[in-house]
Amino acid sequence: MSGPVWVGVAALGAAGALARVAISTAVARWRHSVFPLGTLVVNLTGGFALGILVGARVDGAAASLLGTGLLGAYTTFSTWMFDTERLAQEGRSGLVAVNVLVTLAAGLGATGLGWAIGAAVG
C-alpha cells in the first residue's frame, strides 16, 4: 500500500469512527433502551455497505480505503462484545442471546443483501 493510500485509510478511518459515534448516539437518543440498538444499527448498515463493495468486486486501493478505512472503523466488533458483556453482567441473559443471535443472523443477511445488490450493479 502506498503512502497516500495509508493516509487515506487513516482519514477515512477517522470519518468512519465519527460516523459510528454519531449514528449510535442518535439511535440511543431516539430509542432509549437497555438493548444496544445503536451498535446493532451501525454493524448492520456497515455489513450491508461492505457487502455492496464485495459484490461489486471493488478491490485495490478503493477496497483498502472504503472497506478497511471507512467501514472497518465504522463497524465495531469490540463495542458489540462490550455491550454483550455489559448485558451479561447486569443479568440480562435474554438480551445477551438476542444481541448475539440477531447481530449474527441479521448481519449475515444484511451483508448478503448488500453483496447481491453490489453484484447486480457492479
In this prediction, residue 61 carries a pLDDT of 95
Residue-wise pLDDT tens digits, 14-58: 999 999 999 999 999 999 889 999 999 999 999 999 999 999 999
Distance, CA of 25 to CA of 19 (rounded, Å)? 10
Grid cell 472504503 — which residue? Answer: 66
What does the domain layout of the chain look like in residue ranges?
3-121
DSSP H or E segment with residue 10: helix 3-30
Rounded distance between C-alpha atoms, residue 106 and residue 122, angstroms: 23
Confidence of residue 122 (pLDDT cuts 50, 70, 90): confident
pLDDT, tens digit, 9 for 90 and up, residues 52-104: 999 999 999 999 999 999 999 999 999 999 999 999 999 999 999 999 999 99
How far the first Cα of the chain sits from its last, in Å, is 24
* Reported pTM: 0.92
And the C-alpha cell for 50?
461492505
Other C-beta atoms lying within 10 Å of the C-beta of residue 14? 13
Classify the C-alpha dihedral 63-67-70-72 as positive or negative.
negative
CA–CA distance, 107 with 101 (Å, rounded to integer): 9
pLDDT at 120: 97
